[in-house]
Chain A
Amino acid sequence: MAKQHVSFNLNGKQVDALVEPRELLVHTIRETLSLTGTHIGCESSHCGACTVDLDGKSVKSCTVLSMQADGSELKTVEGLADAEGLHAVQQAFIEEHGLQCGFCTPGMLIRAYRFLQENPNPTEEEIRWGMSGNLCRCTGYQNIVKAVQTAAQTLQQA
């Protein structure tokens, strides 16, 4: 099948790629564009390790075709930190020890980044509901919830 041209804004930079119609967005991001922060976990839209921000919404990039990202604005975990340092959600995951093996963490971070814009001052229950599309098999979630709470406070004070 002939490859087709797609173009999108990735972490603030305009990028182009040639993709097969059947190619999934996560593969284009990791293999063609060499940004391997976005992880592949279950490949069946359950675990959330491949979560990216597509036009201001959290999506699972294992279940979006690269063709569908044409013309969009994408943010991956690599786009969170800036010249001034780590993003508040990243700093909070370090402070609260919101990870153990770290495999789910990129998805957790990019989801938490979006969730705290949707709901800047969430309750614990709202955090658990808002983060329910991301699975962690190590932590038992307690410190992830704490990290999101801490990040919310930091962002509120900023």
Chain B
Amino acid sequence: MIPSEFEYHKATSIQDAIAQLGAHEDSKLLAGGHSLLPMMKLRFAEPPHLIDINGIEELRGIRLEGDTICIGAMTTENELIESEILQQHCPLLVEAARLVADPQVRNRGTIGGDVAHGDPGNDHPAVMLALDATLVLHGPDGERQQPANGFFLGTYWNDLQEHEILVELRVPVIKKGVGHGYSKLKRKTGDYAVAGSPVVIELDGDVCRDIRIALTNVAPMAIRAEAAENILRGKVIDDALIEQAAAEVLAVCDPAEDLRGDILYKSHMGAEMARRSIRAALQQARG
């Protein structure tokens, strides 16, 4: 099983990658390749040009800038897991990366590729929504910053503009009084989630000052369950409110039926993952 023919180009810098995207019509960027190459083998994608961005050092690495963690788009899943900065300041990302695929795939797969690819089963888009991340995009007209909230528009459809490249992901440091939860149901190692839900809660005393509930693989793209968030925001969260919120999560789920389950089952699993993550986040935020 091999892809159809294409021309292979190696980009040496971000500027070079943007120039090559412009020079080669219908070209695709090759990040870790663990979503794109399987699609190309199955002829779901047949780009005439691949631009390999694995050699661009400036796209790798994790650094702390004040209260913001800046993650290079080509940072691999295993590098996320091993990062002391993330273990200390954003353990949600470490937890999520540990549940992506398997050790070999995590050596190749990158956070930027996962966010930009567009498969609703990718895990990081929902994590970016829950963390209220900012995406740094470079294009022919320079740099722009785009909140993750609003970036994911549909299956294989996002706000990445022509000849743009995702360069960096910026997430806030998780502070005292902020808790996170992450729940993912999958049939086996290496499979996409049946449903997943990262949740971040900010407490002010006992009151929920803010909450973000995101969902993986229960809609055409990663989504926020805003109606559910509205039920919990500004309240002292108890079991009855969590049940009301879970009902709103169930209502917003719009999964595609496949071998992982039918629409009803997957929607209920989405609600259950959110329920578990809300409880875990709450417990953690209370310290």
Contact = CB atoms under 8 A, between A and B. Distances in A.
A132 B103 contact: yes
Contact of A59 (B38, B41, B108, B189): B108
A102 interface: no
- Chain B interface size, under 10 / 10 to 19 / 20 to 34 / 35 or more: 20 to 34
Interface in A19-58: 20-24, 27, 43-46, 48, 51, 57-58
A1 B2 contact: no
Contacts of A14: none
B147 interface: no
A132 B105 CA distance: 11
Interface stretch (A62-70, A77-85, A88-96, A146-154): A62-70
Given A22-B4, A24-B2, A64 B108 contact: yes
A75 interface: no
A123 to B, nearest CB: 16
A111 B104 CA distance: 9
Contact of B54 (A45, A68, A115): A68
B274 interface: no
Given A63-B37, A65-B37, A68-B54, A58 B107 contact: yes
A120 interface: no
Interface in B37-52: 37-38, 41, 50, 52
B7 A21 contact: yes
B33 A63 contact: yes
B273 to A, nearest CB: 21
A44 B4 CA distance: 16
Contact of B104 (A1, A22, A48, A68): A48
B6 A21 contact: yes
Interface of A: 1, 4, 20-24, 27, 43-46, 48, 51, 57-60, 63-65, 67-68, 111, 115, 129-133
Interface of B: 1-8, 30, 33-34, 37-38, 41, 50, 52, 54, 101-105, 107-108, 189-190
Given A22-B3, A129-B103, 18 more contacts: A4-B8, A21-B5, A21-B7, A24-B37, A27-B2, A44-B41, A46-B190, A48-B104, A59-B104, A63-B34, A64-B33, A65-B30, A67-B52, A68-B33, A115-B103, A130-B103, A132-B103, A133-B102
17 contacts: A1-B5, A4-B8, A22-B6, A24-B37, A27-B2, A45-B38, A45-B104, A45-B105, A48-B102, A58-B107, A59-B104, A59-B107, A63-B105, A65-B33, A65-B52, A111-B103, A131-B103
